[in-house]
Structure 1
Amino acid sequence: MSLSSTSPARDAGLTCGTLEPGPRNTITDVAGVTVGHKTVIDGNLRTGFTAILPHQGNIFMEKLAAGSDVINGFGKSAGLIQVDELGTLETPILLTNTFGVAEGIHALIRRELSENPQIDRAKGTVNPVVMECNDGYLSDINAIALTEADANAALAAASEDFDQGSVGAGTGISCFGFKGGIGSSSRQFQLEGKIYTLGALVQANFGKAGDLVLPDGRRAAPNEEGAQPERGSVIIVLATDVPLDSRQLKRVARRAGAGLARLGAYYGNGSGDIGLAFSTAQRIPHLSKNSIVARDCLHEDKIDTLFQAAAETTQEAVLNAMIASPAMHGKNGSFRPSLAEWLGNVQD
């Protein structure tokens, strides 16, 4: 599904919060950020990769401040330990299925080695960031079918304009008993008279059927027999052009959980819920002649606006992922209905 100038949720009459979205209402409203997908639908496969490029330069040599927050840690992500220890992001971000993480790691390492042949034991290694959701309900995840070439295709496809819904890493996932997917949203606000942006991209694969609460207060439940336990996951990537340090970015990432809670999520025992936030405001050189490096940083008293934006964009991005995803049949007769169809039936 191609993006509108608003969002699938807003087109359906659902508005999250009070801050205004950016022109695309996606994470790419943050200048320099691009997103690409590789979608694999073949036989019993419903899977893929989604790539987020934080800027268009050499990210290993020009790192960005970053921080993550693990809301519930049932997951197999790579790279988050070093992100939180050093406070920087030095590769693109790949999203995929649980058994595709290794191929994503290989793709990012080889990508950075090709751009930075100086990487070795003496000059430092590279920290690939790959996060995942289990798409095994609709897709044959045990086939371990994704390849480095698939990851590279997602990276090569990165653009300011990208599709939402059942694409890339969102192809085979579920959300609140409906079809889930990749969704995005953004918010703009003023600080010191200048307009800044925060954008979110989610891989929405979480929530128990019947628990979804829409912004207008309605509860949305698919027609299915027997409620299944909460065993999904959600990955939330937040980007902003506000100058923040890694500690502040971790705090912003934590507020993505407020957006999930507004939708009715309670982060079940088997759910892997992770937020990762980065700032494009300043690039951090891999090598520096100076022992002391000056960096701007938002005053803590002004951070509430970013907390609000994180909650609103996360909530709307999840709804965009669901509404942009048509109903899907998967392996062994599995099926997920479309939230868009549910909304249409209710309105009719």
Structure 2
Amino acid sequence: MPRPRDLGIVIGTLPPGPTCSVLDVPGVGLGHATVWRDEPPPPDGRGTARTGVTVLVAADDAYRRPLAAGGAVLNGAGECTGFLTAGEWGTLETPVYLTSTMQLGRVYDAACEIALEHDAGVADDVVIPVVGECDDSFLNDCRRMQVTGDDVRAAHAAALASRGTADAPDQGAVGAGTGMSCLGFKGGIGTASRVTPEGHTVGVLLLTNFGERPRLTVAGVPVGALVPAEPSGPGRPAGSCIGVVVTDAPVDSAGCARLARRIGLGLARTGSTAHHGSGEIFLACSTTVRPDRDGATEPGPRVSGRALDPLFAAVVDATEEAVLASMLAAPTVVGRDGNTSEGLDPAVVTRLLEEHRRG
């Protein structure tokens, strides 16, 4: 499926990295496990499964050497375990796991098991994995726990294997994004990157599940108002968006919190108004500022103050592109009870943008 730049959609002035994804940040991995089943509804079967798990590994030794981190909340009708600890200590010490709302507990359990397997020291000091969720119940039957520990392990293994690859990661209706909808179309997993003039790489990963079709805006063009109305059917939930920024810039925890907050500006450009019932929860981390487990950090230069401005721009632009990437990569998906989330047709987007430019 095409990405925004394949359609001539250029967001901002900063260049992307080679894969235009979080994988452009050295050492970062991204993996998915997609759960897709068609069975009778409970009690005879498990129902229609359109869900999964996505794992972002920012560093494979994060428990021993945590990453500087910070977070921000635009609207708090959602859940992200480990978020309070990351904000309190200013560190990230586990991968970031993304899934659907009703699967959060299972993913958390598996994340704890993975942490123990990778470092026996976790048993002496415990760990609180970061697990974020969005509601995919429009397409996914959530009356049964659809995700297993094996799914979480598969996504984690895929994330470790993806580090250093030159290939762009799968996006759209994969992993945690399988059952998500965005701005009246199919959404899901989206990612993009930017490189600042100073040579720092900023990657953004989103789980998009928010918004209304009439508000969809692509590179400033009101595409949602120009396409046909949504098919009639049951209404979608207000939705949410979990966003993660990862950068190789040496940014401390306070700076990371400021980077995380800029995800909201990128979402607004695409049409988000952060509904009453949505959870926009954002986290950012630096792969080059590595406090020890007592919070002490090695000496070295930090990017702060006005020097953060290029990183702010990178986050906003990469976020806007990641939203579009999550939609353009996703086909139409039919889920439980025949509910349908329509894929955003790249040809339609291209035509509307060209008409806007000519006009």
- Please report the TM-score for the alignment, with normalisation by the length of structure 2: 0.88
Partner of 2:290: 283
Residue 275 of structure 1 aligns to which amino acid in structure 2? F
Partner of 1:249: 256
Give the paired residue count.
Answer: 335
Asked whether the 8 Å contact 1:208–1:228 carries over to 2, the reply is no
Which stretch has the larger CA shift, 164-173 or 136-145? 136-145
* Cα distance, 1:254–1:287 mapped onto 2, change above 3 Å: closer
Partner of 2:18: 23
CA-to-aligned-CA distance 1:31-75 (integer Å, 9 cap, x gap):
0001000001101111000000002x3220011001111110000
CA-to-aligned-CA distance 1:52-103 (integer Å, 9 cap, x gap):
0002x32200110011111100002211000000000001110000011111
Q: Could you tell me how far 1:230 is from its partner in structure 2?
A: 6.4
- Within the alignment, does 1:330 sit opposite 2:339 as a pair? no
* Cα distance, 1:116–1:182 mapped onto 2, change above 3 Å: same
Partner of 1:190: 197
Separation of aligned partners in 2, 1:172 and 1:345: 27
Partner of 2:58: 54
* Cα distance, 1:264–1:270 mapped onto 2, change above 3 Å: same
Asked whether the 8 Å contact 1:324–1:340 carries over to 2, the reply is no
Alignment of 1:94-243 (within 5 A): 94-120=97-123, 123-158=124-159, 159=162, 160=165, 161=167, 162-191=169-198, 195-220=199-224, 221=227, 223-224=229-230, 225=232, 228=235, 231-243=238-250
Separation of aligned partners in 1, 2:133 and 2:11: 26
CA-to-aligned-CA distance 1:220-243 (integer Å, 9 cap, x gap):
255324895761101111110000
Asked whether the 8 Å contact 1:26–1:199 carries over to 2, the reply is yes
Asked whether the 8 Å contact 1:207–1:230 carries over to 2, the reply is no
Partner of 1:67: 70
Partner of 2:94: 91
Q: Could you tell me how far 1:150 is from its partner in structure 2?
A: 0.8
- State the identity %: 40
Which stretch has the larger CA shift, 279-288 or 102-111? 279-288
Separation of aligned partners in 1, 2:233 and 2:336: 19
Separation of aligned partners in 1, 2:234 and 2:146: 30
Separation of aligned partners in 1, 2:281 and 2:155: 21
Separation of aligned partners in 2, 1:14 and 1:243: 30
Partner of 2:31: 36
Asked whether the 8 Å contact 1:45–1:139 carries over to 2, the reply is yes
Separation of aligned partners in 1, 2:133 and 2:297: 37
Which secondary structure does the structure 1 equivalent of 2:288 belong to?
Answer: strand
Runs of 4+ more than 3 Å apart: 225-230, 344-348
Separation of aligned partners in 1, 2:249 and 2:234: 42
Q: Could you tell me how far 1:119 is from its partner in structure 2?
A: 2.8
CA-to-aligned-CA distance 1:307-346 (integer Å, 9 cap, x gap):
1111000000010000000111111011111112543675
- Please report the TM-score for the alignment, with normalisation by the length of structure 1: 0.91
Structure number with the higher strand fraction is: 1
* Cα distance, 1:51–1:247 mapped onto 2, change above 3 Å: same
Residue 4 of structure 2 aligns to which amino acid in structure 1? A
* Cα distance, 1:229–1:134 mapped onto 2, change above 3 Å: closer
Q: Could you tell me how far 1:13 is from its partner in structure 2?
A: 2.3
- Within the alignment, does 1:271 sit opposite 2:275 as a pair? no
Structure number with the higher helix fraction is: 2
Asked whether the 8 Å contact 1:68–1:276 carries over to 2, the reply is yes
2:317 to 312, 316, 327: 312
Residue 37 of structure 2 aligns to which amino acid in structure 1? D
Separation of aligned partners in 2, 1:343 and 1:334: 23
Q: Could you tell me how far 1:189 is from its partner in structure 2?
A: 1.3
Q: Could you tell me how far 1:134 is from its partner in structure 2?
A: 0.5
Asked whether the 8 Å contact 2:220–2:269 carries over to 1, the reply is no
Q: Could you tell me how far 1:295 is from its partner in structure 2?
A: 4.5
Which stretch has the larger CA shift, 73-82 or 158-167? 158-167
Asked whether the 8 Å contact 2:255–2:304 carries over to 1, the reply is no
